[in-house]
Amino acid sequence: MQKIAFLLYYFLRWIDDTIDRNHLPKNKKIRFLLRERKVIENIFAGKQLKNLNDYETGLILLRKFDKKIAIKIKRYVIDNYIKAFELELKRNEIVTKKWLSEYAYYVGGSFANFGLIITNPNLDTKIMNGISKTCATAADLTHLLRDFRKDLRTKKLNIPKEDIEKFNIEPNKLNENCRELSNFARSQVNEIYKLFSSGEKYIKSTSSFRLRLASALFISKYKFVLAKIKNRNYDLFSDYDHSTLSEKFIRMGIVLDDILRLAF
Q: Can you give the residue ranges of every domain in the chain?
A: 2-263
**Could you read off the pLDDT of 7-64 as tens digits, one per residue?**
888 899 999 888 877 678 888 999 999 999 999 999 999 888 888 999 999 999 988 8
What is the model's pLDDT at position 141?
Answer: 98
The average pLDDT across 127-135 equals: 95
Q: How far apart are CA 102 and CA 91, in angstroms?
A: 12
**Predicted local confidence at residue 227, as pLDDT:** 97
Q: What is the pLDDT of residues 206-238, one digit of tens each?
A: 999 999 999 999 999 999 999 999 999 999 999
pLDDT score for 66: 79
Q: How much is the pLDDT for 22?
A: 63
- What integer is the mean pLDDT of 175-189? 95
- Percent of the chain whose predicted confidence (pLDDT) is above 70: 100
CB count within 10 Å of CB 35 equals 10
Q: What is the CATH number of domain 2-263?
A: 1.10.600.10
CA distances from 189 to 67, 89, 146, 182, 219 (A): 40, 26, 11, 10, 14
**CA atoms of 144 and 163, how far apart (whole Å):** 15
Distance CA 168, CA 153 (A): 21
Taking CA atoms, 94 is separated from 29, 72, 91, 97, 198, in Å, by 21, 34, 8, 10, 28
pLDDT per residue as tens digits for the range 71-96: 899 999 999 999 999 999 888 889 99
CA–CA distance, 138 with 235 (Å, rounded to integer): 19
Return d(Cα 125, Cα 66) in angstroms, integer: 18
When the pLDDT of each residue in the chain is averaged and rounded to a whole number, the result is 92
- Summarised one tens digit per residue, pLDDT across range 242-259 is 999 999 999 999 999 999
